[in-house]
């Protein structure tokens, strides 16, 4: 029901304009990292907003993937199929362990500088040889990878702030809803599917991520117990794994070599559930969507690693620190 209501909100363009105005003001602490387009005009059928110059993150990922596939003598579809098969067989690591943001950023700067040097020579040849050339020599533009460590760090921090501090968040953050802007920032677009939590829901989400960050199984089980979740045995290990999967990680340390369907079937076999809480459905969807973006960028994440600190801060600011729950 909650997902259905979220889908319906996608077509309320006046509400989306209000969401844009809200996030333009509320995300000022991240103004150097992200940009939300300002709404200009909205009716029931149309929304006009500020133009942001850049490409979709999804397109940037696919463009670089196509380059890698071509270098290996195959198509992008073939490369993607191999990656999916490998993930199904081996699973994903719990968190990223590749080059740091600084290393990737340095590599990108070096390659752009190298292109600049080569293009200076190309420009000179085009200028001096113009009277004798039928067409100009093409300029170099190396297809570069998105800076996954930086992008995912910004996205996780911004959405953790939305969830724990604002209690109002973009509930469908897939790779097509982010832009890699020309000025280096990340554009946040499509604010139709925005979820606003009550104060109690916001604090519940904060308590959830604080308990995941602390690895406090007892606290999390107490939350599940009062939430209305019901299962045949109330198996604590099954519930802990369900919460980690639903709100935190797809890592192989959790799935233990199983694919997602087999993992869920096994949990249900061990302790069938027949009623679950729905008040944090969209917070769960937020987590799943962002983790999917991380997988697409080969940057798996554990949400608690970014959101645990924001969660603790939200509880403290509410006068209800973790220890009193």
- DSSP letters for 144-207: ----HHHHHHHHHHHHHHIIIIISEEES---GGGEEEETTS-EEE---SSEEE--HHHHHHHHH
**What three-state secondary structure class fits 7?**
helix
Question: What is the Cα–Cα distance from 242 to 12, expressed in whole angstroms?
Answer: 33
* Mean pLDDT, range 29-33, rounded to an integer: 96
Closest Cα to residue 86, out of 267, 249, 257? 257
Closest Cα to residue 162, out of 9, 319, 10, 26? 26
Query: Is the pLDDT at 2 greater than 70, yes or no?
Result: no
Q: Name the residue with tokens 């980690």.
A: 244
Structure tokens at 262: 């087999």
More confident residue, 2 or 325: 325
Question: What is the Cα–Cα distance from 2 to 15, expressed in whole angstroms?
Answer: 17
Mean pLDDT of the chain: 91
pLDDT for 79 equals 86
pLDDT band of residue 10 (cuts 50, 70, 90) is: low
Closest Cα to residue 187, out of 212, 154, 216? 154
More confident residue, 63 or 87: 63
Closest Cα to residue 23, out of 199, 173, 247, 203? 173
Query: Is the pLDDT at 219 greater than 90, yes or no?
Result: yes
pTM of the full structure? 0.88
Q: pLDDT tens digits, residue range 133-161?
A: 888 899 988 888 889 999 999 999 999 99
pLDDT band of residue 6 (cuts 50, 70, 90) is: low
* Mean pLDDT, range 266-282, rounded to an integer: 90
Structure tokens at 248: 């935190």
Q: CA angle, 160 as apex, 293 and 108 as ends, to 5°?
A: 50
């Amino acid at each position: 029901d909650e997902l259905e209501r979220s889908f319906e909100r996608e077509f309320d363009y006046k509400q989306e304009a209000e969401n844009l105005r809200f996030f333009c003001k509320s995300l000022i602490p991240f103004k150097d990292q992200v940009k939300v387009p300002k709404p200009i005009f909205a009716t029931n059928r149309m929304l006009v907003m500020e133009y942001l110059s850049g490409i979709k993150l999804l397109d940037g990922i696919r463009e670089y993937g196509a380059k890698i596939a071509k270098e290996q003598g195959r198509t992008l579809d073939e490369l993607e199929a191999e990656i999916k098969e490998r993930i199904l067989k081996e699973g994903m690591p719990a968190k990223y362990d590749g080059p740091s943001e600084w290393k990737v950023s340095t590599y990108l700067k070096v390659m752009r500088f190298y292109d600049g040097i080569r293009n200076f020579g190309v420009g000179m040849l085009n200028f001096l040889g113009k009277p004798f050339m039928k067409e100009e020599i093409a300029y170099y533009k190396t297809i570069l990878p998105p800076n996954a460590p930086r992008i995912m760090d910004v996205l996780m921090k911004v959405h953790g702030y939305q969830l724990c501090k604002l209690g109002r968040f973009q509930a469908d953050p897939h790779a097509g809803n982010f832009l890699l802007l020309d000025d280096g920032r990340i554009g946040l677009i499509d604010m139709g599917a925005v979820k606003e939590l009550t104060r109690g829901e916001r604090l519940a989400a904060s308590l959830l991520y604080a308990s995941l960050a602390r690895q406090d199984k007892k606290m999390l089980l107490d939350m599940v117990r009062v939430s209305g979740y019901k299962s045949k045995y109330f198996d604590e290990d099954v519930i802990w794994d369900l919460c980690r999967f639903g709100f935190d990680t797809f890592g192989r340390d959790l799935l233990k070599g199983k694919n997602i369907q087999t993992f869920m079937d096994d949990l249900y076999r061990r302790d069938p559930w027949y009623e679950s809480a729905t008040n944090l459905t969209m917070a769960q969807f937020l987590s799943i969507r962002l983790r999917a973006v991380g997988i697409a960028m080969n940057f798996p994440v554990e949400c608690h690693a970014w959101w645990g600190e924001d969660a603790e801060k939200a509880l403290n600011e509410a006068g209800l620190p973790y220890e009193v729950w």
